[in-house]
Amino acid sequence: MRRKPGQLLPLETAICLCAAGLRRKGTHEFHGYDIAKRLGDESGHRLLTAYGTLYRALGRLEAMGLLKSEWEDPHVPARENRPGRRMYSLTAAGEGAAEEARLAARKAAREKMPKRAARRPVPA
């Protein structure tokens, strides 16, 4: 898929929307597997073909400044006996991109709705 300048791919838009939804619910950081689960639940696995696709999209979003990431505190995975995770968070620019996508989706939904005919008063 060829990208137009300044335009997000559908997967990137979905990641921003999902991250904005998490932020509204009070979760400011997420890891790749967590976002993959949420995207799968919301889209029915249509957007995600492989985890490599997700992590490349996360990297692109970070390069665009829509996400920022850092490795979690190494004591947490050591205590839980698991590998460390890269934690992502949505930036202000990412929040703006999510809001634009939300507005565009609403506009597209309104345009798809059939127009209602104006009612004329019926003479008594």
Give the CATH number of the domain where residue 43 resides.
1.10.10.10
Domain interval for residue 32 = 10-112
What is the chain's mean pLDDT, rounded? 86
User: What pLDDT was estimated at residue 117?
Assistant: 61
User: Looking at the 3D structure of the chain, how many domains does it have?
Assistant: 1
User: What pLDDT was estimated at residue 83?
Assistant: 92
Determine the average pLDDT of the residues in 4-14. Answer: 84
Using CA atoms, how far apart are residues 45 and 31, in angstroms rounded to an integer? 18
Query: Helix 10-24 and helix 92-112: axis angle, to 10°?
Result: 110
Residues 6+ apart with CB under 8 A from 94: 16, 19, 20, 61, 65, 66, 67
Determine the average pLDDT of the residues in 81-98. Answer: 94
| H/E element, 107 | helix 92-112
2 within domain boundaries: no
- Distances 33 to 25, 40, 50, 98, 113 between C-alpha atoms, Å: 18, 10, 11, 20, 36
Task: State the pTM of this model.
Answer: 0.79
Of all residues in the chain, what percent carry a pLDDT higher than 70? 87
5 within domain boundaries: no
pLDDT in tens, 31-71: 998 898 888 877 655 666 677 888 999 999 999 999 999 99
Q: What is the chain's length?
A: 124
